Amino acid sequence: MLAAVGGTEQATTTEAVIGTDAPKPVRKEITVYDFKRPERVSKDQMRALEGIHEGFARNFGAAMSAFLRTILEVRIADTEQLTYSEFIHSLPNPTCFNLLTIKPWEGSVCLELSPLIIFPIIDRLLGGDSVDSFVPQRALTTIEQRLVGRITDRALKMLADAWSSLGVSYFDLSQSESNPHLVQVVAPNEVVVVITFELKLAQKSGTMCLCVPFTTLEPVLDKLATQSWLSYRKKDTGVNHKQRIADSLKGAAVNIRTFLAQTTISMGQLMHLQVGDIIQTEKLANQDLILQIEGRNKFAGRMGQYRGNRSLRITRKADPDERL
């Protein structure tokens, strides 16, 4: 800047001495720069961050939908650079403000959940329909904080998976506050990257903000390239994605039943059945019993007893059309 000012003065002086025949100063393109809101993260790096958190939004929405047993839509609403002071003053008070530490880094990030969506989620967890739920203007109670903790635990796990390509092992919750002005992570004029997510539950919607200070992000800015993001997406849609689906299916409940035999009797015989009567079937006593899962033949086995309870020892796979 000083060199440009000096060059301008020299050119002006020369023109005054020589006259109108002197060459005019060359016009240079001027770019507006705001010292209050400097953009220290490039557009390519911002796009890489947005791409990483798009994967987080999908995984977090799927995990929360399974947890709440209803659809929770999560998408990125905005990605921008602000000062920490502007970010704090844009948040409601009270709110659900969480300070996270990144391992093995030394930095910290902030995760804020809007009361507009956190109270409907709590209402859903407590058995409500979250449609006409009232959103109070108060801090969370102790019981509500425990419930929100189950939400943030899932968010931290999904964030760690999304940030694994940047060398992050896990996120740790170090502090929770209802008043965001009480948490001073960095200086008020420090640049932060704010990623805003929109959460929709039934007819209710709210935001979740992830605030990453530039000092925390600076050591890994070189990794935020297009190639790194493509490798992350390939990894996410591969083994890790299949493993997450498999882990979610492990807790799914299924109906299992075993058929002793199948036969046909008349309505008159059915009406006159008494305790002690014997029903004849076409199945022999030494034949395998068919075990069905969700109404489909899956396995065959032998009836037995285990620790005082009736049991079935699986001996083979059953044919789909095998007779009961």
Whether this prediction's pTM lies above 0.75 is answered by no
Domain boundaries, the chain: 43-250, 256-274+281-317
In this predicted structure, the answer to whether residue 28 has a pLDDT above a threshold of 60 is yes
Cα gap 315→292, rounded to integer Å: 14
User: Cα angle at 196 between 58 and 248, to 5 degrees?
Assistant: 25
Q: What is the DSSP string of 284-316?
A: -TTSPEEEEETTEEEEEEEEEEETTEEEEEEEE
What pLDDT, on a 0 to 100 scale, did the predictor assign at position 12?
45
Confidence bin at 33 (pLDDT 50/70/90): low
Structure tokens at 205: 């919607």
Question: Do residues 50 and 76 touch, judged by C-beta distance below 8 A?
Answer: yes
In the chain, at which residue ranges do the beta strands (DSSP E only) sit? 72-83, 96-103, 108-113, 170-177, 191-201, 204-213, 256-259, 289-293, 296-306, 309-317
How far apart are the two ends of the chain, measured CA to CA in Å? 89
User: Cα angle at 64 between 63 and 69, to 5 degrees?
Assistant: 105
In this predicted structure, the answer to whether residue 283 has a pLDDT above a threshold of 70 is yes
Confidence bin at 195 (pLDDT 50/70/90): very high
Q: Across residues 85-105, what is the average pLDDT?
A: 89
pLDDT tens digit sequence for 202-216 = 888 899 999 999 888
Structure tokens at 298: 């899956």
What CATH class has 43-250? alpha beta
